[in-house]
Chain A
Amino acid sequence: MKALRIFSRSIRDSFKSVFRNFSLSLASISCITITLIVVAVSIVLSYSVNTFTQAIEKDVTIVAFISNDKSDDDIKDIEKHILALDNVQKKNVSFRDKMDISNEMMESSDVFKGIMQDWTKEESPIQNTYQIKVDDIEKIGDTAKEIEKIDGITSVKYGAGMVEQMVQVFDTVRKFCIILVVALIIVTAFLIANTIKITIFSRKREIEIMRLVGASNANIKIPFILEGLFLGILGSIIPIIVTILGYTKVYEHFHGHLFVSFISLIKPYPFVIYISLILVGIGMIVGMFGSWRAVRKYLKI
């Protein structure tokens, strides 16, 4: 009961304080708002980029063409060589027979069918292939080169150049986002610390009296920590609205796909809800951390 009374008093005090120093509170709230909007954009970007990269990585395949003069034993040998390579996903190396490929091609187009239907297995210029997936997409070029060196492989194909570039761009975007977010969060924490510091100064006498009459340290600190918490929560309202409306709009605008069909955007729900929760969480933590710092430094208790 007693703790509850003290706590409700703390909540009342911190609310009062937010409005008593309104201009300062507003400064802090706007700073949190701006930070959290950037944080939201960054999270959406880096999360989407992550999904894109994964999608691309799943799709990218090295196709190794096998010379037609190789026997079945030779082909088995080639497979062993491929499997021995580091970056190759052992479970995702598959052999495709040249007859399967020509059948597929004939099904896809009548023109092909007209030309290819009379080819026997020996005549067909189409080559047997291995379809290979890799663990680390950034090293796909090196792996492809090593496969090409294997005896019996005539050539190797993958989305050379484009894939690496895309992955690199995505990676840069992600790193940039993270740095930006961390920097902004630190700045915001300092600003909140400043706001709370001024609140503490404006309530100096009140604090002195509280200490004099025997209020415990926690009792004195809690209102300030709560004030930081409220600033954090108030600051996260606009970013949450921006995220929910903004992302839904973007998703609708692009019809769920970014430029090409295999890069699909993350569905807005429950994605935006998660982001909103993250934003409130960050706001609360930053607010409390900022005020905790100020309290520790200026309350000297």
Chain B
Amino acid sequence: MDLIRLRNINKTYKNGVTAIYDLDLTIKKGEFVFIIGETGCGKSTLIKMLYREEKPNKGKIIVGGINVAKLRNSKVYKLRRKIGVVFQNFQLLPKLTAYENVAFALEVLGLPKYEIHKKVVKVLDLVGLKNKAKHYPTQLSGGEQQRVAIARAIVNGPKLLICDEPTGNLDPKKSMEIMEVLEAINKLGTTVVMVTHDIEIVKKMNKRVILLNSGRIVKDYEEGTYK
């Protein structure tokens, strides 16, 4: 089953820069996909359109059955609840502990306390931070902060996890730890789409790889074929 389907996507920014040209892409449920390419090739624009941070000028985007390109501003939250997003700079709230940061995502959705507690504990365990739940972001290392961010992204059980350079600020060893967490999440059934610069990681992971250049898909490597 297709989770993401993009047809004839064109995206031109208001300043006249065209980021995506006539792009087609299908990603199946449960896949793990890397999107790579040089800076400015349009990969960030591509994933931003997936969670409706950007809107395409032309084309059709379906994510989890929602027509994203036609989604009204006031309905974007419906899409976001099906998607988890992780960024390079973690985006944690500094005044909240690791636990509170993850719980925040559920609190704003109005879940009851006991349910929040159950889910947060479970997900912190999954990313290996069970014993650091009461630490503040400043007391955690970069890798640990990113794991908190991942925990927050998946705590609501999204179908799709979008990662925008999640290892960009981390050393190779910490990066691999993050990749292990992402792979574990993928194995539990969540589709993962990850944008990265780090070719070493891509090579080690042996997943499907989409190479972008100047807003077009140059090559779509099947699982295990990217060397």
Residues of A within 8 A of B (CB): 1-3, 5-6, 9, 205-206, 208-217, 219, 301
Contact = CB atoms under 8 A, between A and B. Distances in A.
A5 B116 CA distance: 12
Nearest to B104: A209
B144 to A, nearest CB: 18
A221 to B, nearest CB: 11
Contacts of A2: 110-111
Contacts of B156: 213-214
A213 B112 contact: no
Taking residues whose C-beta sits less than 8 angstroms from the other chain, chain B's interface range is 20 to 34
B95 to A, nearest CB: 9
Interface stretch (B26-34, B73-81, B184-192): B73-81
What are the 5 tightest A-B residue pairs by CB atom distance, in nearest-first order?
A214-B81, A214-B80, A213-B105, A6-B110, A215-B108
Interface string B47-85: 000010000000000000000000001101111111001
Most buried by B among A9, A211, A212: A212
A1 B112 CA distance: 9
Contacts of A208: 91
Interface of B: 51, 73-74, 76-82, 85, 91, 93, 104-105, 107-112, 152, 156
B16 to A, nearest CB: 22
Most buried by A among B74, B108, B111: B108
Contacts of A3: 110
A101 B58 CA distance: 94
Most buried by B among A1, A5, A215: A215
18 contacts: A1-B112, A5-B111, A9-B110, A205-B93, A208-B91, A212-B80, A212-B91, A213-B104, A213-B105, A213-B108, A213-B152, A214-B79, A214-B80, A214-B82, A215-B108, A217-B73, A219-B108, A219-B110
Given A213-B152, A301-B73, A9 B108 contact: yes
Contacts of A6: 108-110
A214 B158 CA distance: 11
Nearest to B78: A214
A217 B107 CA distance: 15
B93 A211 contact: no
Contact of A209 (B76, B77, B78, B93): B93
A213 B80 contact: yes
B141 to A, nearest CB: 20
Contacts of B79: 214
A219 B111 CA distance: 13
B88 to A, nearest CB: 14
Nearest to B96: A206
A4 to B, nearest CB: 8
Contacts of A209: 91, 93, 104-105, 152
B219 to A, nearest CB: 31
B150 to A, nearest CB: 13
Given A205-B91, A301-B73, A211 B80 contact: yes
A217 B93 contact: no
B108 A217 contact: no
A211 B91 contact: no
A5 B110 contact: yes
Nearest to A219: B108
